[in-house]
């Protein structure tokens, strides 16, 4: 039989109406040409999270291009970012046959576009010609989307052909979703006197949203406003008033594309797709279509969901049954038992990665990132009743053939649908379903069934992973990570066989305990890396000298060796001891280290019959070792120093007496970009001959002068940093502290004084040597806190390190011990432990530092695990002078590894737009820090961010330049990064933020650049808490102006500005500001602040229909206006209150601006100010004018140079019309109003002016109203 040609069709969400019809048409036509078709499909067109994007789109990486003769890409349905582009690029490079893209222009291949233009024109013509509508609004999709452009152009051209001018503001952009239609309707409803006669929408979803919003507002469809859609979906046809619409010609398009593929395969040219679709005339346009039947569809079969026990049956318990399984065989048999729920197929296959057969292998690192080269054909099902079903764990095939069934002969052409088996980003395998030569795709119940299977697989994987982790952890509990020897627990468990041998052979057991001398000093002086090297060196010697028996690591450089002994003496164990001591001497002779290795030993031999007696033997050997150790230390103390030692001691005394210390600085670099974050200062004595730091500590301890070392270290490093400030470039300096030797008394006070100019630079490293009392620890932390010094816990992961102890210290940094990082890339146990440390650190705002990184493999591993900082010889060695940058190739390596991590995990930035409702709690829990809204390429332009009331999320929001849309904030709590706002609009944006519930922005506000527009609406509240690095609430920073601000919300905006320099609503250079409604409570405290307005820009402020209260506690402050710019303030229908306690303040106006013009129409205004030089309404010296009408004004000011209105040059113009005024002023200034009396005009008012307790009588002219 001649081999049949095979076509690949790539699609997203094949069960959606348009794709279902396209697939039907495409398969019908392809089968006529005798072509097989393989459909590779994502379950959704786009995904809500980056992990799901990876998981679903991975199905396209399965494709083997050489197996196909042609490709068709439904590009517009594959909306996962960059996926369609990558597919096209791959095809261009790997495939030479015909390729057609559908509904999206391609750079490389011909495109077939569905004709949306003609149906749109026909729909608009229907409104004009059949109903006589001329004022028609149009709601289209995204500006950049080709479908939006095509449909909008059809509307515009039809209106033009009928000589109808489209009025300004009649075109609205949405995102093809219900909410954007509703939002467009709400915008139109703001001007109810100028509503359109009809609203046409680019799809039925938006038309439904429009109709719902109109109905909620009390309008009727179509009696008051006609509504039409396009695409004629079921929801539209079955609406309360069926939506007049037109179907998309998807099935005809599918047939056309199949015909085009056939033409290209046979060397013929493609033809242009043209389709003539009938309109669906509903009642939403105003037509009375009584003959149209709007009824539910009858079932095609007698069987019901319950009778057939299908997926929708109430007896479907597939999830529960899968969750109950404890092994893979039971799981797969359960899945097979439920295949009947989807059994309308010709054949069905589950193909799993080979890793599923190795879940129990603790040495296998299962990544779940790709399809395995060998797939398990674990489940095969044929037609019902054909006896072709089987579950087989041994049946495997090469993934590159995709499916064995594809390569078997069959009489008729067939279609196969490949979909991924995944959970989030994890790749489990794939499912394949075929309906034979029936031209159809799968339906909803198939997708839901497969999703249940995927969830069952994930549940089983997690349980197995937990079991696997427990096995790994159990192994780590009985082994020492550094040496690989048994720890005490492991030794006691494993020694049972040794005891048994001793009893069977009637032997004794001998134990030798070996303890490394001066290990603590080596750790302190040379760092934990050097200490670990010493431990490993001794461990290697012990292993070399111990052929039989068992070795146990007791911790802190102590080991126990236990062997069988045929006699009741120590000869055998002492022989091992002597070999160890000889090997140590040999090591010291060949070593170039600055220190020498030495050990204390002790031994014991006894008959042992059980574990308790073994413990007694071990304890006896330890006791003897401790006795020998104490005797040797006493002997060392009492012994007379040799001449060489006396010289060394004298040299150390000289070092201490004359402060002969210098320091080398090892860079600590950022794990994100390789930039130097800090340096660690390492002691190096400045004498000849050279004296090692260990020698210094040894003799300093003998002379009881470790305190002098501590003191010299702090003061010397501090002085070096101050003297060489430019070399450090404000980077931090880590300094080691000797345990128990913190500075006290006058030294501590002197250090505090010297630290004042450099406190934020220093980090003190604390070593967890002992469990110090809480009171002592608290006092030490308080001392450092008062000095402004940060702290780090050194060598974390060894000794007394545990989570509880870390919580007691609560440092700013945790330095993960080198022992945990050596060859970490090869140790799942170490990776698990370090990952837990990093997670805990980040959850508690502690930076995680990987110490002692020495290889590129270790560097990649710690970056993948999420550490913040890196230190080690691989990145940079210590240097006498701080280096400005690490080697460029190492920095590039760090950046590359970080990019890989970011790509794999998607951390830091969450791309919004995949779903129209985003849970901020969920996003924050996934460790994202920033939410990013792109201007193009994503799905939803109207997005709701929903939080949980009272729950803080460490998230901020960035909006890409060019974005136009609506963002709804519902109970969110965002937190700004340092020197960034909580919400930042890009350039040329037009954003409406709708407030719902209680919302909080902490540490920063909303940045609106000069080219953008922000509209606030909704009935929710917003609290903005400023910080010194985020010192404006709504607008822009001190150096820039802001765009258009339209504050049109009904809820309350509260601004808390306890900052040195701050702006509430506005910016440094000013901008257009309209406050149209709402309630505002603004508090500004600090040196300088403006509640509403600008610092040095001119301002035109329109404020009306609102309640505004301002509390100013700034040394110099403006309530509403500008510090140095001219202001025009128009206030109407409002309540305004301003209270100020600063030395220099103006409630409404400007200090140094050339002009201050203020008008208040209808409302109440209360101003109370106390300060050196204050004014209620006016300016310092500029052109000042104030007018008010129908206002109740109360001003109570007090100050040496205080006035209530006008300016201090008495040149203001004041007009009070039909208002009530009551002013109380206490001042040494010569007047209460800074204006000539003839420039004060009072008409029809009741006014009382008081200065220093005396009333000032002013003429009030009475005129008829």
Question: Do residues 1215 and 1261 both lie within one domain?
Answer: yes
Answer whether residue 801 shows pLDDT above 60.
Answer: no
Segment 1232-1251 shows an average pLDDT of 94
Q: Is the dihedral of CA 78, 79, 80, 81 positive or negative?
A: positive
Answer whether residue 812 shows pLDDT above 80.
Answer: yes
Which of 212, 228, 248 finishes a domain?
Answer: 248
Residue 787 lies in a domain: yes
User: How far is residue 1058's CA from residue 1035's CA, in Å, rounded to a whole number?
Assistant: 17
Higher pLDDT, 766 or 1167: 1167
Residue 1027 lies in a domain: no
Token pair recorded at residue 522: 């080596």
Q: Is the dihedral of CA 831, 834, 840, 842 positive or negative?
A: negative
Q: What is the mean pLDDT of the chain?
A: 88
Residue 1123 lies in a domain: yes
Q: Determine the 3-state secondary structure of 554 from DSSP.
A: strand
Q: pLDDT tens digits for 471-487?
A: 766 666 777 777 888 88
Instruction: Read off the pLDDT band of 1167 (50, 70, 90).
Output: very high
Burial class (CB in 10 A: 0-12, 13-18, 19+), 1007: buried
Answer whether residue 497 shows pLDDT above 90.
Answer: no
User: How far is residue 324's CA from residue 320's CA, in Å, rounded to a whole number?
Assistant: 6
Which of 259, 288, 309 finishes a domain?
Answer: 259
Residue 172 lies in a domain: yes
Answer whether residue 428 shows pLDDT above 80.
Answer: yes
Number of domains in the chain: 6
Instruction: Read off the pLDDT band of 646 (50, 70, 90).
Output: confident
The residue assigned the tokens 């720890």 is: 487
Residues 6+ apart with CB under 8 A from 363: none
Range of lowest pLDDT (42-51, 179-188, 765-774, 949-958): 765-774
Burial class (CB in 10 A: 0-12, 13-18, 19+), 287: middle
Token pair recorded at residue 825: 């890339």
* Nearest in space to 1073 (alpha carbons), one of 1104, 1096, 1050, 1112: 1104
Q: pLDDT tens digits for 256-282?
A: 999 999 999 999 999 888 878 889 999
User: How far is residue 820's CA from residue 829's CA, in Å, rounded to a whole number?
Assistant: 9
Question: Do residues 143 and 155 both lie within one domain?
Answer: yes
User: How far is residue 973's CA from residue 997's CA, in Å, rounded to a whole number?
Assistant: 11
Q: Is the dihedral of CA 973, 976, 981, 986 positive or negative?
A: negative
Residue 978 lies in a domain: no
In this prediction, what percent of the chain has a pLDDT beyond 70? 94
* Nearest in space to 975 (alpha carbons), one of 954, 951, 999: 954
Check if the beta carbon of residue 850 is closer than 8 Å to that of residue 813.
Answer: no
Check if the beta carbon of residue 668 is closer than 8 Å to that of residue 849.
Answer: yes
Question: Do residues 592 and 660 both lie within one domain?
Answer: no
DSSP bridge partners of 1023: 1000, 1054
Q: pLDDT tens digits for 355-404?
A: 998 887 766 778 888 999 999 999 999 887 667 789 999 999 999 999 99
Cis peptide leading into residue 222 (ω within 30°): yes
Question: Do residues 689 and 836 both lie within one domain?
Answer: yes
Count of positions (residues) in the chain: 1265
Check if the beta carbon of residue 64 is closer than 8 Å to that of residue 73.
Answer: no
Question: Do residues 109 and 148 both lie within one domain?
Answer: no
Question: Do residues 819 and 865 both lie within one domain?
Answer: yes
Answer whether residue 1067 shows pLDDT above 90.
Answer: yes
Question: Do residues 123 and 38 both lie within one domain?
Answer: no
Assign residue 1106 a region: left if phi > 0, alpha if psi is -120 to 50, beta otherwise?
Answer: beta
Check if the beta carbon of residue 1147 is closer than 8 Å to that of residue 1175.
Answer: yes
Q: pLDDT tens digits for 593-644?
A: 888 899 999 998 989 989 888 888 888 888 788 778 776 766 665 556 777 8
- What's the confidence (pLDDT) of residue 1228? 94
User: Alpha helix locations (H) across 887-1003?
Assistant: 888-905, 920-925
Check if the beta carbon of residue 482 is closer than 8 Å to that of residue 532.
Answer: yes
Check if the beta carbon of residue 1249 is closer than 8 Å to that of residue 1216.
Answer: no
User: How far is residue 441's CA from residue 417's CA, in Å, rounded to a whole number?
Assistant: 8
Element (DSSP H or E) covering residue 1034: strand 1032-1035
Answer whether residue 513 shows pLDDT above 80.
Answer: yes
* Nearest in space to 511 (alpha carbons), one of 524, 503, 493, 499: 499
- What's the confidence (pLDDT) of residue 209? 94
Element (DSSP H or E) covering residue 328: helix 328-337
Question: Do residues 459 and 544 both lie within one domain?
Answer: no
Segments forming the whole domain that contains residue 690: 656-900
Check if the beta carbon of residue 513 is closer than 8 Å to that of residue 621.
Answer: yes
Residues 6+ apart with CB under 8 A from 1164: 1134, 1135, 1136, 1191, 1192, 1193
Segment 290-294 shows an average pLDDT of 48
Is the whole model's pTM more than 0.75, yes or no?
A: no
CA distances from 631 to 549, 627, 701, 1102, 1104 (A): 29, 6, 18, 89, 89
Residues 6+ apart with CB under 8 A from 1112: 1084, 1089, 1091, 1119, 1138, 1139, 1140, 1141, 1142, 1145
Q: pLDDT tens digits for 70-119?
A: 999 999 899 887 889 889 999 998 899 999 999 988 989 999 988 889 89
Residues 6+ apart with CB under 8 A from 833: 476, 797, 820
User: How far is residue 11's CA from residue 87's CA, in Å, rounded to a whole number?
Assistant: 11
Question: Do residues 87 and 15 both lie within one domain?
Answer: yes
Question: Do residues 243 and 194 both lie within one domain?
Answer: yes
Strands 928-933 and 956-959: parallel
Token pair recorded at residue 220: 């009727």
Segment 528-549 shows an average pLDDT of 87
Element (DSSP H or E) covering residue 655: helix 643-658
Higher pLDDT, 520 or 18: 18
User: How far is residue 251's CA from residue 20's CA, in Å, rounded to a whole number?
Assistant: 8
The residue assigned the tokens 């951390």 is: 907
Question: Do residues 719 and 820 both lie within one domain?
Answer: yes
Question: Do residues 204 and 335 both lie within one domain?
Answer: no
Strands 790-796 and 762-767: parallel
Question: For position 572, which CATH number holds?
Answer: 3.30.70.270
Question: For position 194, which CATH number holds?
Answer: 3.40.50.2300
Which of 875, 900, 925 finishes a domain?
Answer: 900
- What's the confidence (pLDDT) of residue 769? 47
Check if the beta carbon of residue 123 is closer than 8 Å to that of residue 228.
Answer: yes
Residue 648 lies in a domain: no
Q: Report DSSP state, residue 1151.
A: S
* Nearest in space to 762 (alpha carbons), one of 783, 784, 777, 778: 784
Instruction: Read off the pLDDT band of 315 (50, 70, 90).
Output: confident
Q: Report DSSP state, residue 220.
A: -
Residue 331 lies in a domain: yes
Q: Determine the 3-state secondary structure of 1141 from DSSP.
A: coil
Residue 1068 lies in a domain: no
Q: pLDDT tens digits for 824-866?
A: 888 877 888 888 888 888 877 789 999 999 999 999 999 999 8
């Amino acid at each position: 039989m001649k081999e049949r040609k095979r076509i690949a069709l790539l699609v997203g969400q094949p069960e959606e109406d348009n794709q279902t019809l396209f697939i039907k048409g495409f398969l019908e036509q392809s089968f006529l040409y005798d072509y097989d078709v393989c459909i590779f499909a994502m379950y959704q067109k786009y995904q809500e999270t980056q992990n799901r994007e990876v998981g679903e789109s991975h199905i396209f990486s399965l494709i083997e291009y050489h197996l196909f003769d042609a490709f068709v890409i439904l590009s517009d349905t594959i909306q996962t970012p960059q996926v369609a582009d990558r597919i096209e690029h791959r095809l261009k490079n790997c495939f030479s046959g015909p390729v057609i893209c559908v509904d999206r222009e391609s750079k490389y291949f011909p495109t077939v576009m569905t004709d949306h233009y003609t149906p749109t024109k026909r729909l608009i013509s229907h409104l004009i010609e059949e109903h006589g509508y001329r004022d028609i609004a149009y709601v289209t999709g995204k500006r950049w989307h080709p479908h939006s452009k095509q449909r909008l152009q059809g509307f515009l051209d039809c209106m033009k052909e009928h000589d109808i001018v489209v009025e300004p503001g009649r075109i609205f952009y949405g995102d093809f979703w219900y909410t954007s239609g509703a939002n467009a309707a709400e915008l139109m409803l703001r001007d109810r006197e100028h509503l359109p006669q009809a609203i046409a929408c680019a799809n039925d979803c938006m038309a439904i949203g429009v109709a719902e919003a109109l109905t909620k507002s009390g309008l009727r469809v179509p009696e008051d406003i006609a509504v039409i859609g396009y695409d004629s979906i079921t929801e539209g046809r079955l609406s309360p008033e069926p939506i007049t619409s037109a179907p998309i010609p998807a099935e005809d398009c599918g047939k056309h594309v199949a015909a085009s593929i056939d033409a290209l395969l046979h060397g013929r040219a493609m033809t242009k797709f043209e389709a003539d679709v009938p309109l669906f005339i509903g009642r939403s346009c105003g037509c009375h279509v009584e003959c149209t039947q709007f009824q539910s569809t009858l079932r095609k079969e007698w069987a019901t969901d319950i009778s057939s026990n299908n997926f929708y049956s109430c007896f479907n318990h597939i999830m529960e049954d899968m969750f109950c399984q404890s092994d893979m065989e039971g799981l797969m048999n359960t899945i097979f038992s439920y295949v009947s729920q989807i059994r309308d197929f010709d054949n069905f296959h589950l193909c799993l990665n080979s890793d599923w057969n190795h879940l129990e292998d603790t040495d296998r690192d299962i990544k779940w990132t790709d399809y395995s080269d060998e797939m398990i054909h674990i489940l095969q099902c044929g037609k019902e009743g054909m006896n072709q079903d089987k579950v087989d764990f041994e049946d495997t095939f090469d993934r590159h053939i995709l499916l064995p069934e594809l390569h078997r002969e069959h009489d008729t052409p067939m279609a196969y649908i490949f979909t991924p088996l995944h959970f989030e980003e994890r790749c489990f395998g794939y499912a394949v379903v075929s309906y034979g030569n029936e031209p159809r795709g799968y339906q909803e119940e198939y997708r839901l069934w497969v999703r249940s299977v995927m969830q069952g697989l994930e549940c089983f994987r997690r349980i197995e992973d937990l079991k696997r982790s427990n096995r790994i952890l159990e192994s780590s509990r009985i082994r020492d990570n550094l040496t690989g020897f048994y720890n005490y627990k492991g030794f006691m468990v494993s020694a049972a066989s040794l005891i048994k041998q001793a009893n069977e052979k009637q032997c004794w057991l001998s134990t030798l305990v070996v303890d490394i001398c001066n290990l603590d000093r080596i750790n302190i002086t040379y760092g934990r890396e050097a200490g670990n090297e010493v431990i490993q060196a001794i461990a290697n010697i012990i292993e070399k000298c111990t052929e039989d028996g068992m070795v146990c690591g007791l911790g802190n450089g102590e080991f126990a060796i236990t062997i069988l002994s045929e006699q009741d003496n120590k000869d055998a164990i002492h022989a091992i001891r002597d070999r160890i001591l000889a090997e140590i001497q040999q090591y010291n002779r060949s070593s170039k280290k600055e220190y020498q290795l030495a050990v204390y030993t002790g031994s014991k031999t006894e008959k042992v019959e059980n574990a308790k007696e073994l413990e007694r033997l071990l304890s006896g050997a330890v006791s003897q070792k401790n006795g020998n150790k104490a005797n040797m230390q006493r002997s060392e103390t009492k012994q007379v120093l040799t001449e060489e030692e006396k010289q060394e001691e004298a040299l150390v005394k000289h070092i201490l007496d004359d402060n002969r210390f210098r320091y080398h600085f090892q860079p600590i670099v950022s794990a994100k970009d390789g930039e130097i974050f800090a340096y660690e200062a390492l002691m190096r004595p400045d004498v000849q001959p050279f004296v090692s730091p260990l020698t210094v500590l040894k003799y300093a301890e003998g002379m009881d002068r470790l305190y002098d070392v501590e003191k010299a270290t702090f003061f010397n490093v501090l002085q070096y940093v101050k003297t060489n400030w430019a070399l450090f470039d404000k980077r931090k300096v880590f300094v080691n502290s000797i345990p128990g030797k913190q500075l006290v008394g006058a030294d501590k006070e002197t250090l505090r004084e010297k630290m004042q100019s450099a406190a934020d630079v220093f980090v003190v490293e604390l070593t967890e040597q002992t469990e110090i009392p809480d009171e002592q620890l608290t006092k030490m932390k308080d001392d450092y806190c008062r000095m402004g010094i940060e702290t780090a816990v050194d060598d974390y992961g060894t000794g007394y390190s545990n989570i509880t102890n870390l919580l007691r210290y609560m440092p700013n940094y945790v330095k993960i011990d080198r022992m945990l990082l050596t060859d970490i890339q090869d140790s799942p146990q170490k990776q698990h432990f370090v990952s837990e440390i990093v997670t805990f650190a980040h959850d508690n705002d502690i930076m995680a530092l990987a110490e002692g990184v020495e290889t590129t493999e270790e560097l990649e591993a710690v970056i993948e695990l999420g550490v913040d900082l890196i230190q080690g010889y691989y990145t940079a060695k210590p240097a006498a002078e701080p280096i400005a940058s690490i080697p460029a190739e190492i920095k590039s390596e760090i950046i590359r590894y970080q990019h890989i991590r970011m790509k794999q995990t998607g951390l830091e930035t969450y791309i919004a737009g995949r779903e129209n409702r985003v849970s901020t709690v969920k996003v924050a829990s996934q460790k994202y820090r920033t939410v990013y809204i792109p201007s193009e390429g994503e799905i939803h332009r109207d997005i709701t961010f929903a939080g949980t009331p009272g729950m803080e999320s460490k998230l901020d929001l960035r909006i890409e330049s060019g974005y136009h849309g609506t963002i709804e904030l519902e109970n969110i709590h965002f937190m700004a990064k340092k020197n960034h706002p909580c919400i930042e609009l890009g350039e040329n944006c037009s954003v409406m933020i709708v407030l719902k519930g209680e919302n909080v922005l902490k540490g920063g506000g909303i940045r609106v650049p000069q080219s953008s527009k922000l509209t606030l609406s909704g009935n929710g509240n917003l609290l903005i808490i400023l910080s010194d690095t985020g010192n404006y609430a709504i607008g822009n920073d001190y150096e820039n102006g802001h765009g258009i601000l339209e504050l049109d919300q009904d809820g309350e905006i509260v601004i808390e500005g306890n900052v040195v320099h701050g702006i509430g609503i506005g910016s440094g250079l000013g901008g257009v500001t309209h406050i149209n409604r709402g309630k505002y409570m603004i508090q500004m405290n600090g040196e300088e602040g403006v509640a509403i307005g600008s610092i040095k820009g001119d301002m035109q402020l329109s404020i009306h229909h609102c309640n505004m209260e301002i509390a100013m506690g700034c040394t110099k402050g403006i309530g509403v206006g500008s510090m140095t710019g001219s202001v025009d303030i128009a206030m109407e229908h409002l309540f305004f209150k301003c209270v100020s306690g600063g030395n220099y303040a103006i409630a409404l106006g400007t200090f140094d601006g050339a002009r201050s013009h203020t008008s208040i129409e209808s409302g109440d205004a209360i101003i109370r100010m106390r300060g050196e030089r204050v004014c209620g309404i006016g300016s310092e010296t500029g052109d000042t004018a104030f007018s008010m009408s129908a206002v109740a004004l109360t001003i109570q000011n007090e100050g040496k140079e205080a006035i209530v209105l006008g300016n201090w040059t008495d040149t203001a113009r004041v007009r009070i019309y039909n208002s009530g005024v009551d002013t109380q002023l206490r001042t040494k200034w010569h007047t209460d109003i800074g204006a000539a009396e003839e420039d004060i005009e009072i008409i029809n008012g009741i006014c009382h002016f008081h200065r220093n307790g005396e009333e000032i009588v002013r003429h009030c002219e009475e005129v008829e109203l």
